[in-house]
Amino acid sequence: MNAPNPIRAWDSRRQGRQRRLERAASLGFERRIATPRIKELLEAVIEPRDRVCLEGNNQKQADFLSEALADCNPERLHDLHMVQSVLALASHVDLFERGIASKLDFSFSGPQGGRLARLVQDRQIEIGAIHTYLELFGRYFVDLTPNVCLIAAQAVDAAGNLYTGPNTEDTPAIVEATAFKGGIVIAQVNELVDKLPRVDVPADWVDFYVVAPRPNYIEPLFTRDPAQITDVQVLMAMMALKGIYAEYGVKRLNHGIGFDTAAIELLLPTYATELGLKGKICTHWALNPHPTLIPAIESGCVESIHSFGSEVGMENYIAARSDIFFTGADGSMRSNRAFSQTAGLYACDMFIGSTLQIDLAGNSSTATLGRITGFGGAPNMGSDPHGRRHASPAWLKAGREAGGPDAIRGRKLVVQMVETFREHMAPVFVEELDAWKLKESMGMDLPPIMIYGDDVTHIVTEEGIANLLLCRTPEEREQAIRGVAGFTPVGMARDRKMVEQLRQRGIIRRAEDLGIDPRRANRDLLAARSVKDLVRWSGGLYAPPTRFRNW
Amino acid sequence: MENLEFRFTAHPARPAAGAALCGVVGSGNMEILIRPGDEADACTVSIKTSARGFGKIWEAVIADFASRHPVGGTRIAINDMGATPAVVTLRLAQALGDYTGGAQ
């Protein structure tokens, strides 16, 4: 018998953790860190080449810790491997420009997309991969487990328990992966209180906390002012409701964040109710608390909403509608991005959202030249989960349209809703996505396609609805897409005869085929036409951020 | 500003009103007026637009509309402030709906 290998240590991560904690202790640090000493702590517990998770999504940001890390000495801290949901703040990019971090695995970069692309071209950053949220969270528990995580919470008590408030978002996933694999958890909090409203993260999972000099930043990303919704968007919303929601009886769904889907939300109490759809569609949601859903909730159209995060100004409204939203015993919302994304992937029958470009195979992308924007959660919601086993009428109908009456699985409805031209007459429908050029110029393994064409079931434009489930050949699919692509070059190059045949077969449906009078496509059909209307619908519970108050 | 003039043959419209006005002159929007024209099987269109260089698309949008709807015997005037083809098509349909009392 061979003796076990005596050299292999089986607790090196725990030892590493101990080493870091001892360094911190030797400098006099206890659990509560004095605000001015945060850099000193970070330099003590983080080591070069560490994998560091910086919390920040498109809403809540650990902005103070991010700035502190970016201000650290690059001779002490360098070659960090950042793993984070979103690259949104200037300080996130500063980390790479200042040589503190060198590698990045992430999901979404929104506003920093341009700077990120330049860093890649200048070889100042190595991108591991661009993920969906669930994919990235999954990897935190497999091969991207953080050594240190820097998170944000609303409040802490003296023992170190954390209260995240309504914007729990990514915190549980990050802390779970770090705290239970020998990592160090550092939290920035807005305030230290005697008694927390509720405990979202228990104290023994948290190593250090610091009271930030200002509350963490939260972006009101999901507020769409109804005043900006156009008549064309109302027309498209009417078509979607009649041609898809009603047709499939879609009860469980997720909406994108654009004005197109905001228009649908505002037609639920009016047009959809008039069609007799109340209670038959849109009852259960995986959705952030969109203010534009208030009229539908108040009209009794909605039964349940689980949220990825909260939305600025919606706190009191949510607390007062606990039958609808998930709330803690304290009354305030409990969000959780990982669970809501899972719900969006597996428990919803439809995703509907917008995009910037669609090609002839139905692939869609929000990547444009010179910007690496990433995906966020759209590909989780906007994909058909082949592992799904439970049936629903919508899922079965879609599956049978695609696979015939003997289909052994259903299909999620994945709907792209776009006007054929964006601003400045940029066509949405293109022969080739910019994603392919981006792949070349950035040296990526894959083009950054947001939603794969073979997952897309319907495309809605002002010209009509294309049902791709019913297409039987790639040629039919291409002509179905051209047939709703309007007067873009792609649309003008349609085979008119074939498009007319597709229309006879119900694969393409125009407003008139759906019995929609274009004269009703008017903003007057919206349940709310301004943010002030939303406040009124909420009985004064919704408190919109200042930038949305124009009265 | 650019002025565009088009003429299309089309099946005659059945007017229910003397004229129909639709839309507003605002950014990304347009105003359209439909009145009786001189020829029963043709539609004449005059467009004043703030966006230059889109004559081809205007022609395609209106030709497509005239082939899908009976618009013969009408004279259409458009004041445009950069409306997209989506807006143009919707406003044409709305104005024609008003002009014909919904019968198309």
Residue A525 has pLDDT above 70, yes or no: yes
CA-based R_g, chain A, Å: 25
A506: left (phi over 0), alpha (psi -120 to 50) or beta: left
Tokens representing A137? Answer: 């969270």
Question: Is the pLDDT confidence value at A123 over 90?
Answer: no
3-state SS of A76-96 is: CCCCEEEEEEECCCHHHHHHH
> Any idea which residue has 């429908």 for tokens?
A429
% of chain A at pLDDT higher than 70: 99
**Helices vs. strands in chain B: H and E counts, helices first:** 2, 5
**pLDDT digits 0-9 by tens, A275-300:** 999 999 999 999 999 999 999 999 99
Could you tell me if A462 lies within 8 Å of chain B, comparing CB atoms?
yes
Distance between A488 CA and the closest CA of chain B, angstroms:
9
Reported as a single tens digit per residue, the pLDDT across A196-206 is: 999 999 999 99
Contact A202, A161 (CB under 8 A): yes
| Residues of chain A positioned with their CB less than 8 A from the CB of B54 | 425
Burial B66-87 (b: 16+ CB within 10 A, else e): beebbbbbbbbebbbbbbbbbb
CB contact under 8 A, A518 and B102: no
* Of the candidate ranges A105-119, A390-404, A508-522, the one whose mean pLDDT is the lowest: A105-119
Q: In whole angstroms, how large is the CA radius of gyration of chain B?
A: 12
pTM of the model: 0.95
**Dmax (CA) of chain A:** 87
Beta bridge partners of A253: A285, A350
At A1, the pLDDT band (50, 70, 90 cuts) reads: low
Half-sphere exposure of A512 (CA within 13 A, CB side): 13
Domain regions of chain B by residue span? 2-100
Q: Is residue A418 within 8 Å of residue A366, measured between CB atoms?
A: no
**Min CA distance, B86 vs chain A (Å)?**
6
Residues in chain B within 8 Å Cβ distance of A419: 84, 86
Of A425, A512, A521, the CB nearest to B90: A521
Nearest to A462 among B64, B86, B104 (CB): B86
Structure tokens at A88: 């949104």
Residue B93's pLDDT band, with cuts at 50, 70 and 90, is: very high
CB A254 within 8 A of CB A285: yes
pLDDT in tens, A51-73: 999 999 878 999 999 999 999 99
CATH for B2-100 is: 3.30.230
